[in-house]
Copies of this chain bind each other. A is one copy, B any other.
């Protein structure tokens, strides 16, 4: 690989960045075509009831739509190797391993020196020098299965305080989704584009319900800052909005501010929710709303111009293997999982979740 690296011409250096969170801390590991993916969750309080069904339910949400999503046939067999005993968390790190069983590393050997456009092959090479050319390594969508596992634990913790996460597609392949009919139309469009060897993207909307007022840690750990980081860490996400989002740039203050009032229970609340449940980086108690733009899957079956790094020549790449026709539906549960990890962390930092006390009540 020396020649490649010399070509890239960079001094290489340690990577980190596989741990997320301040108090509820998630570390993930695993290459796309290695033996397994995994998550270690440190900082989950002791005494939280959790079992394999909770995790199974989230893992099963990966690729619900076999036609649109990856044809890779993972069963996502997993094991909880630590941190849970007799149905409850111990306060010690929770280690979950999800075994890979449908890897086809050999299918990549023909293209190992070819940089796939839109993928991270080139940048991983530039960053690390030595790379796993079998699929996307850590840049693959496969990496997110570990996030779903961690998110399952986070959801359980958040749900103890009534916090609930709900994502949905609001746009697919350029078609706005408003109802079932428009969804089917959009899905057909995405499939049709896929039939033609091309791919498409979409927009995911996420609502977080039940977050009490007062969660978030200004200034650099404002809730939207933590969520923004979380969402932009998901492969293929190119835009993130909260509340009015980019539209906020076009309205007036009088059309952007949410007046305050007392709600039926006498609690301070906002009339409307243009702010998306966030003011000054702290939750208002209203529903948190956000949107993520997902780019089209970079793998397509059309000829693309690229380079072969070993041969050091430009070339036309053609690919006929399996690919996600549209990756956006897979981002829905991942966005939920990441927001659950953020909320679990910030609920703890804000002193709001004390599960054991509730457990023993």
Extra 15 A-B pairs, beta carbons < 8 Å, given A91-B130, A271-B305: A6-B360, A12-B45, A17-B219, A31-B82, A47-B129, A90-B132, A115-B260, A118-B253, A120-B281, A126-B212, A232-B242, A239-B242, A240-B241, A245-B293, A260-B305
A155 at the interface (CB under 8 A from B): no
The minimal Cβ–Cβ distance linking A83 to chain B, given in whole angstroms, is: 7
- CB < 8 Å: which of B95, B130, B250 contacts A356? B130
A210 at the interface (CB under 8 A from B): no
Which residues on B sit within 8 Å (CB–CB) of A16? 22-23, 25, 42-43, 217, 221, 349
A10 at the interface (CB under 8 A from B): yes
The minimal Cβ–Cβ distance linking A169 to chain B, given in whole angstroms, is: 10
* Shortest beta-carbon contacts, A-B, top 6: A120-B280, A13-B351, A17-B221, A17-B217, A126-B214, A123-B282
Which residues on B sit within 8 Å (CB–CB) of A35? 79, 81-82
The A340-361 residues at the B interface (CB cut-off 8 A) are 348-352, 354, 356-357, 360
Docked pose: A83 CA to B357 CA in angstroms: 31
A130 and B46 in contact, given A239-B248, A299-B253 (Cβ under 8 angstroms)? yes
- CB < 8 Å: which of B201, B217, B226, B350 contacts A229? B226
Q: How many subunits of this chain does the assembly comprise?
A: 4
Docked pose: A42 CA to B221 CA in angstroms: 12
1/0 contact string of A113-133 vs chain B (CB within 8 Å): 001011110111011111110
Which residues on B sit within 8 Å (CB–CB) of A302? 253-254
Which residues on B sit within 8 Å (CB–CB) of A297? 253
A15 touches B213 (CB 8 A): no
Which residues on B sit within 8 Å (CB–CB) of A233? 218-222, 225, 281
